Structure 1
Amino acid sequence: MRKFKAAAITATMVGALTLAACSSNGSSGDASEEPDTSGGTGANELTFMFRGGDYDKLAYQAAIDAFEEETGASVKMIITDADQYATKLQAAIAGNKVPDVFYIEPGKMMGYVYADVLADLTDYVEQDVIDNIWSFGTDAYRFNTETGERGNSADALYGLPKDVGPFGFGFNKALFDELGVEYPSLDEPMTFDEFVSKAKELTTDRDGDGEMDTFGTGLNVTWNSQAFVWGAGADWISEDQKTVTVDTPEFAEALQWFADLGLVEGVTPTATQAQSLDTYQRWMQGDLGFFPVAPWDIATYNAKHEENPDGFDYEVIPYPVANEGDDWSTWLGSLGIAVSENSQNKELAAQLATYLSTDLEAQKILAENKVQIPNLIDYATGEWIETDAPAAGWPANTEIFLQIAEEKGRPLPGVWTYTPEWYDNFWIGIENVVDNGSQTAADFVAGKQTEMQMLLDQSWISADQAKAQG
Structure 2
Amino acid sequence: MHTQAGAPLSRRRFLALSAAGVATGAAALSGCALQVSTGVSGKGETVTLMVKPDDISPELVKQAQKDIGVKIIKVPYSITKLVAMMTNGNPPDLVRGVGAVDAPYFAARDVMEELDPYFAKSSVLELDDLDPVNDLWRYDGRTQGKGPRYGMAKDFSQDSMYWYNTALFDKAGVDYPPESEPVTYEEWLENAKRLTRRKNGQTTVFGGSYNGVLTPNLLASLTVAAGGSLFSDDFSRVDFTAPEARKALGWYIDYCRTKVGPSIIQPDPNTWDGPTYQANRMAMTNSGYWLGGLINADKKLAPVSRLAPAPVFEGGARTSPCQAGTGLWMPKKARKKDAAWRVFEWFFGEAPAKARASSGWGIPTLKSLRPLMPAQEDYQKRVLKVQEAELKHFSVIAFTPFATADSLYAIFNQFAPAAMRGEMSVDSLAGHLNSAMNEQLKRGKEQVG
- Fold shared by both chains (TM-score > 0.5): yes
Q: 1:160 to 1:121 in 2, by over 3 A?
A: same
Partners of 1:299 and 1:369 within 8 A in 2: yes
Partners of 2:184 and 2:312 within 8 A in 1: yes
The answer on 1:202 being equivalent to 2:195 is: yes
The match for 1:77 among 67, 72, 92 is 72
The match for 1:241 among 211, 225, 235 is 235
Identical aligned residues as a percent: 21
**Alignment-derived partner of residue 354 in structure 1:** 345
**Alignment-derived partner of residue 384 in structure 1:** 372
Paired positions, count: 409
Per mean C-alpha deviation after superposition, the further-off stretch among 369-378 and 127-136 is 127-136
Write the mapping of 1:41-440 to structure 2, written as runs, cut at 5 A. 41=40, 44-49=44-49, 50-53=51-54, 56-59=57-60, 61-62=62-63, 65-68=66-69, 75-79=70-74, 84-106=77-99, 107-109=101-103, 117-126=111-120, 129-137=126-134, 139-144=135-140, 147-152=141-146, 155-167=147-159, 168-204=161-197, 213-220=204-211, 222-223=214-215, 227-261=221-255, 263=257, 267-268=260-261, 274=267, 280=273, 282-303=276-297, 305-306=298-299, 309=301, 313-323=304-314, 326-359=317-350, 361-380=351-370, 383-385=371-373, 388-390=374-376, 396-401=382-387, 407-411=393-397, 413-414=399-400, 416-417=401-402, 419-420=404-405, 421=407, 424-434=410-420, 436-440=421-425
Q: 1:431 to 1:251 in 2, by over 3 A?
A: same
Q: Could you tell me how far apart the structure 2 residues matched to 1:99 and 1:130 are?
A: 26
Query: What are the ranges of 5 or more consecutive residues in structure 1 without an aligned counterpart?
Result: 1-29, 69-74, 465-470
Q: Could you tell me how far apart the structure 2 residues matched to 1:53 and 1:358 are?
A: 18
Per-residue deviation, residues 408-446 of structure 1 (Å, max 9, x unmatched): 2544744x4465445653442111122x11112122113
**Alignment-derived partner of residue 9 in structure 2:** none
Post-superposition offset of 1:318: 1.6
Q: How big is the alpha-carbon RMSD for the aligned residues of Structure 1 and Structure 2?
A: 3.9
Partners of 2:225 and 2:319 within 8 A in 1: yes
Per-residue deviation, residues 342-381 of structure 1 (Å, max 9, x unmatched): 455433432332332222x43220122344321111332x
Q: 1:48 to 1:129 in 2, by over 3 A?
A: farther
Query: What are the ranges of 5 or more consecutive residues in structure 2 without an aligned counterpart?
Result: 1-28
Partners of 1:191 and 1:321 within 8 A in 2: yes
Q: Could you tell me how far apart the structure 2 residues matched to 1:227 and 1:109 are?
A: 17
Post-superposition offset of 1:321: 1.9
| 2:415 partner SS | coil
Partners of 2:226 and 2:245 within 8 A in 1: yes
Letter in 2 for 1:181: V
Partners of 1:38 and 1:92 within 8 A in 2: no
| 1:171 partner SS | strand
**Alignment-derived partner of residue 439 in structure 2:** 454
Partners of 1:227 and 1:319 within 8 A in 2: no
Q: Could you tell me how far apart the structure 2 residues matched to 1:282 and 1:241 are?
A: 36
Post-superposition offset of 1:216: 1.9
